[in-house]
Structure 1
């Protein structure tokens, strides 16, 4: 069957450019018996300017045990500087494709060329469950389209037989043993084979333990299939939190700590004015809204939704680079606005976004002051900004501000003293490495810089007043590289959230 160029506009979900093809019918399927397969192949062409999502309705009769889908598309050579073809895939069941609805059954983006779903099991990225009769929808996501367009081919196979039973998923517990009120290290942006990662959940858990982490969050692209994939991998020493990386065409957001099995939709752009609706859904599901790599360089990675709905922002993603530098500067500007009294301030976090070896888990990691090692306590710590970021578990620090009477404040706290009262800011660092530079950043910018001893450990103090510095935050940096841009510091070793100075 051919579907070429002529697509009819769909009103589905009010999504960012959604089109629906003609339905695929398995007219002879009634004659198929248990153990038999029936397949249909659909090919077509998508021109440049195609919608974000193209739906292929599939009429599934009764008696189907498993639905399997494979697809391919052409990847022609394109001129330098021009985007080639990239096409994602997923599926919705007979409950429909309504935005935020109940029909979602899986998404693998561009990581897989085939998948299968039955009651008993499903390909990673997809959700096991009954294959009920009705209209299912294979969804194609033409991420980028070459100037000559994109030719695709989709094969849908129905396998008949006894339906089987769906195992009840086993989700991670909400808390681990922990150490009471303490600083806990975690990485909350991670991928496995359940989206475009290469590690299995077991390999990810092992890498987290090797990195000295206390908690991780599973955040697969646009799917919840990993939530039930960590059975037996948690323990007293490792808390596993469920989440999702919501991957829109205008930026990615980490939904940190949503209730297991909660699906958050991604099929909208900033111009659709839908993000607020789904940010609220994240919070209703118990999660935090954290824009990821806001200045990322990949197509669709730049954050376009603004920060009004955010609970924190990922200022450091994987190896510290120019995009992270831009994010830190942008985040610091929001602190200045908060110092003026123009609204709440947004805490900074960092995560590895690790997908595969040799990408390290825990580079960077967020260190959170929490009452215990539980999802709720960690979220409270992040939401309040009681956290800092390190490149590894070898780096440790303590940051405080103290006035002349011994009154003190820690990260995210306020030292409420008179505008001209002397305040000593103190940073104790261990394990940073030789030649590392310490910088104290205020609402005026960097006001004090020094170099740690050769041991990479030491205590740095600086005296200021609230009238001179509305807040102080600390950075530990690698030396600037030879031949680097003058005035641009080296990559980050550690970064704190601010201590606020002065009365409100």
Structure 2
């Protein structure tokens, strides 16, 4: 029998810009079938990044449900309030034991129990102790933000626990070959709209061999991909670590391995700490869409601990052009960080595999794919219709994309298909050294001799304007190196 909801006012709690704040605790009686408390509060402009609402959970609880709402005053800059949950094991920075889920602003309610949880949250026992609802005032309007949080505890037997079922780390491959993948994708486990099976179907339609599951700040999908996996598609676990100072997909995480996001670009030690955790388990750190214009999306952490840069994200636009220019500038300075491209698709009609990263790997297996990405043995394509090979040849010696050929002079051999009417550009540290147009057949063989160039990379561009650029990228390669680097 449900107890009448009781309101607990927190309107006297204001914030003055601290990194985080702790609200007064809310306690429940150790009795009844269901109990609800409603907590009211307010954030003012300049609120902290995070506020924690302690919930004292008694014994015998089988399920927690959280429902929240906040005002959105008309005619003013919008309010946005994120939400998540930590269990009694801890909620301090990096305390992965207590993490129980995150949905950001994607949904207004969630439940957690031993036998199930809302996507984005982790099923498991509801142990007694102090849980914490985390509130993240992403934006607060000049008029402030009033909010309410309903906390419902349901008592009874815990229910049958769910066993994790992660995806296999290997799929049916072709041995050493070029494999097509999308390294940045979302489902209903964060703010995406596709169900896992829908994402798999879209990936196969796009001609992909693999993809990386990168939900925002949560690991819940990684524990369930085995329910949907198929033998001809490799699913790699990841997380899009979504901070207020940029987003960084962590690729190749073990199932359930969570990386914290509660720090900003000025906190260099925190970023180094969590990038180190990714590297410790054999994963890769990617700087995602570094010039994206969405609030909190631009990259502020530098590149000292980054393994790859996402220079192309979704439909080609000016922020991708800026990312390529910056990446090229780093390359000219002698600092090579491999480039990748990803769709970052969340929902229809956003296409999966636009663009895709084509990786040379020993097999269709997680470690092999990650090794190819880290080595820069990859190139980017707008779709599976585009085919490209590039190599440097000096006598009997050959170097492919990402490799080095110690030679003062080398013949660059580039073959492309599926790119009718496009321009192929061969780029060196000093200039666009050579260009050719692809005929209507879509196929071309480009041959050019490089002399005293430290590296050569290629771009294929279509002379088709977008709303923000004079042309459209069709393919882009990582460099072939010809001298010392």
TM superposition score normalised by structure 1:
0.92
The CA deviation at 1:231 is 2.4
Is 1:58 aligned to residue 48 of structure 2? Answer: no
The CA deviation at 1:285 is 2.4
Structure 1 regions of 5+ residues with no counterpart?
Answer: 11-15, 339-343
Q: Is the 8 A contact 1:90 1:106 kept in 2?
A: yes
Q: Is the 8 A contact 1:8 1:21 kept in 2?
A: no
Q: Is the 8 A contact 2:15 2:46 kept in 1?
A: no
Match of residue 490 from structure 1: 471
TM superposition score normalised by structure 2:
0.95
- Which runs of structure 2 are paired with 1:315-354 in the superposition (5 Å)? 315-338=311-334, 345-354=336-345
The CA deviation at 1:335 is 0.8
Map Cα deviations across residues 301-325 of structure 1 (whole Å, 9 max, x no partner).
0010001100111110000110000
1:225 to 210, 220, 223: 220
Matches of 1:9 and 1:169, distance apart in 2: 42
Match of residue 10 from structure 2: 3
Map Cα deviations across residues 86-138 of structure 1 (whole Å, 9 max, x no partner).
11000101112111111110000000000000000000000000001100000
Match of residue 408 from structure 1: 398
Higher mean C-alpha deviation, range 277-286 or range 445-454: 445-454
Q: SS state of the match for residue 211, structure 2?
A: strand
Q: Is the 8 A contact 2:180 2:357 kept in 1?
A: yes
Matches of 1:167 and 1:247, distance apart in 2: 27
Q: SS state of the match for residue 271, structure 1?
A: coil
The CA deviation at 1:44 is 1.0
Is 1:132 aligned to residue 127 of structure 2? Answer: yes
Is 1:300 aligned to residue 290 of structure 2? Answer: no
Matches of 2:344 and 2:388, distance apart in 1: 23
Q: SS state of the match for residue 347, structure 2?
A: coil
The CA deviation at 1:414 is 1.4
The CA deviation at 1:503 is 4.5
The two structures, once aligned, show a CA RMSD in angstroms of 1.6
Match of residue 275 from structure 1: 271
The CA deviation at 1:25 is 1.3
Q: Is the 8 A contact 2:14 2:44 kept in 1?
A: no
Match of residue 23 from structure 1: 25
Is 1:260 aligned to residue 267 of structure 2? Answer: no
Map Cα deviations across residues 345-392 of structure 1 (whole Å, 9 max, x no partner).
100000000000110000000000000110000111011000000011
Match of residue 44 from structure 2: 47
- Which runs of structure 2 are paired with 1:409-428 in the superposition (5 Å)? 409-418=399-408, 421=409, 423-428=410-415
1:67 to 64, 68, 85: 64
Q: SS state of the match for residue 135, structure 1?
A: strand
Q: How many residue pairs were aligned?
A: 476
Matches of 2:328 and 2:392, distance apart in 1: 19
Structure 1 72/453 Cα, relative in aligned 2: closer, same or farther at 3 Å?
same
Is 1:205 aligned to residue 200 of structure 2? Answer: yes
1:481 to 440, 465, 471: 465
Map Cα deviations across residues 265-294 of structure 1 (whole Å, 9 max, x no partner).
000011122100000011112210001101
Structure 2 regions of 5+ residues with no counterpart?
Answer: 1-7
Structure 1 212/445 Cα, relative in aligned 2: closer, same or farther at 3 Å?
same
Map Cα deviations across residues 182-211 of structure 1 (whole Å, 9 max, x no partner).
000011100000000000101101111111
Q: SS state of the match for residue 231, structure 1?
A: helix
The CA deviation at 1:463 is 2.0
Match of residue 82 from structure 2: 88
- Which runs of structure 2 are paired with 1:156-195 in the superposition (5 Å)? 156-195=151-190
Matches of 2:377 and 2:164, distance apart in 1: 33
Q: Is the 8 A contact 1:9 1:20 kept in 2?
A: no
Is 1:381 aligned to residue 372 of structure 2? Answer: yes
- Which runs of structure 2 are paired with 1:91-102 in the superposition (5 Å)? 91-101=85-95, 102=97
Q: Is the 8 A contact 2:454 2:484 kept in 1?
A: no
Matches of 2:373 and 2:275, distance apart in 1: 17
Matches of 2:131 and 2:325, distance apart in 1: 46
Higher mean C-alpha deviation, range 249-258 or range 1-10: 1-10
Deviation above 4 Å: which 4+ runs of structure 1?
7-10
Matches of 1:481 and 1:247, distance apart in 2: 31
Q: Is the 8 A contact 1:202 1:230 kept in 2?
A: no
Structure 1 5/84 Cα, relative in aligned 2: closer, same or farther at 3 Å?
farther
Higher mean C-alpha deviation, range 453-462 or range 47-56: 453-462
Matches of 2:417 and 2:230, distance apart in 1: 28
